[in-house]
């Protein structure tokens, strides 16, 4: 599928190499690299990829956390966003060749701005289009990746402004939206939410798909329970629809994501707007519950 695609990249020479960090950029990606070898994070967006994403995301110790197009679900892409159904049309799954089932996310413009302090700003313009050619939604997505902290941790803040181009229904489903697919090899890790450890408190939905028992403003995947630990978390902003929501949590992948449309269809009339805000945090040597409650409070005030 050939579409109009414009990419602008701003490289700021001042501070390009500092403290062991440097930028690595190509026509379709931007990455922060440490010590010439460790990719801290990379953002990927191109005209032939319908799901812009972050992969890899690494933990502060340098280990890769995310999985990209794994064999079991080729449409999973690290940290990414995808609708499941719009007006009953499937935007989530793809064919083996990467072709859309029924709906497509079309990237129209990407602006990548790496900053001298090794933070970055990323802006996307997108359209959500049925295979018939009908354009359902337009989206402006603005993302800020923080400069890495002294311990190697960082945050990614995502702000999505979506406008309906026609009358459209975001159909209820038990997954879809903002998602994080993680690499295998951390079988001893646990999901943690504001209510406690979630790994043993799922309720079964369909086959092995599970949702958190209760709504939560955040969910984390942590190495240890009840003591200083490392992990990664998603914060769901209080302004998001139906906040706090339930989360899809899949220990066997592992996978996590908030599902604001789990219990209800969401109808948008032509011209209506929808704003979604999320934040990803990596952390180490933290009491996870206290740390994430404090960060959620700060995020909600922004």
- Residue 48 CA to residue 167 CA, distance in Å, equals 27
| Chain center to CA of 299 | 16
**pTM of this structure:** 0.91
Share of the chain above pLDDT 90, in %: 73
pLDDT in tens, 27-63: 889 999 999 989 999 999 976 677 999 999 999 888 9
Q: How many residues does the chain have?
A: 302
Classify residue 205 by burial, with Cβ atoms within 10 Å: 0-12, 13-18, 19+. Answer: middle
pLDDT in the model for residue 19: 66
Distance CA 8, CA 112 (A): 6
CB 181 within 8 A of CB 76: yes
Which pLDDT value is given to residue 47?
Answer: 66
Average pLDDT of the segment spanning 213-229: 91
- Domain-wise residue ranges, the chain: 6-300
Q: CA nearest 218: which of 238, 189, 190?
A: 238
Contact 174, 209 (CB under 8 A): yes
Q: Is the pLDDT confidence value at 13 over 80?
A: no
Q: What is the pLDDT of residue 167?
A: 98
Helix (H, G, I), strand (E, B) or coil at 6: strand
- Cis? peptide before 244, omega within 30° of 0: yes
Instruction: State phi, psi for 293 to the nearest 5 degrees.
Output: -60, -45
pLDDT at 5: 45
Domain 6-300, CATH? 2.70.98
Confidence of residue 196 (pLDDT cuts 50, 70, 90): confident
131 or 137: whose pLDDT is higher?
137
Q: pLDDT by residue (tens digit) across 93-136?
A: 987 777 777 999 999 999 999 999 999 999 999 999 998 999 99
For residue range 145-189, list pLDDT tens digits in order. 999 999 999 999 999 999 999 999 999 998 999 999 999 988 789
């Amino acid at each position: 599928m050939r579409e109009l695609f414009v990419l602008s990249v701003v490289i700021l020479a001042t501070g390009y190499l500092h403290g062991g960090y440097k930028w690595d950029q190509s026509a379709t990606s931007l990455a922060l690299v440490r010590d010439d070898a460790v990719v801290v994070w990379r953002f990927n967006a191109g005209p032939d990829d319908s799901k812009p994403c972050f992969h890899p995301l690494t933990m502060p110790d340098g280990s890769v956390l995310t999985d990209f197009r794994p064999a079991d679900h080729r449409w999973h892409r690290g940290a990414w966003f995808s609708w499941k159904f719009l007006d009953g049309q499937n935007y989530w799954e793809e064919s083996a060749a990467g072709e859309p089932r029924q709906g497509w996310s079309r990237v129209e413009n990407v602006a990548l701005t790496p900053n001298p302090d090794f933070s970055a700003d990323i802006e996307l313009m997108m359209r959500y289009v049925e295979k018939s050619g009908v354009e359902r939604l337009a989206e402006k997505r603005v993302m800020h990746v923080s400069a890495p902290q002294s311990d190697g941790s960082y945050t990614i803040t995502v702000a999505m402004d979506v406008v309906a181009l026609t009358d459209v229904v975001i159909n209820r489903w038990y997954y879809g939206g903002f998602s994080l697919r993680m690499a295998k090899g951390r079988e001893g890790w646990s999901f943690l939410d504001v209510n406690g450890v979630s790994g043993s408190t799922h309720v079964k939905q369909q086959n092995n798909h599970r949702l958190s028992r209760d709504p939560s403003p955040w969910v984390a995947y942590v190495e240890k329970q009840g003591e200083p630990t490392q992990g990664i978390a998603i914060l769901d902003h209080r302004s998001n629809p139906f906040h706090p929501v339930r989360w899809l949590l899949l220990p066997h992948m592992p996978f996590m994501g908030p599902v604001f449309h789990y219990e209800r269809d969401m109808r948008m009339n032509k011209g209506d707007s929808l704003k979604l805000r999320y934040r990803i945090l990596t952390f180490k040597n933290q009491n996870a519950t206290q740390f994430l409650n404090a960060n959620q409070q700060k995020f909600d005030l922004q």
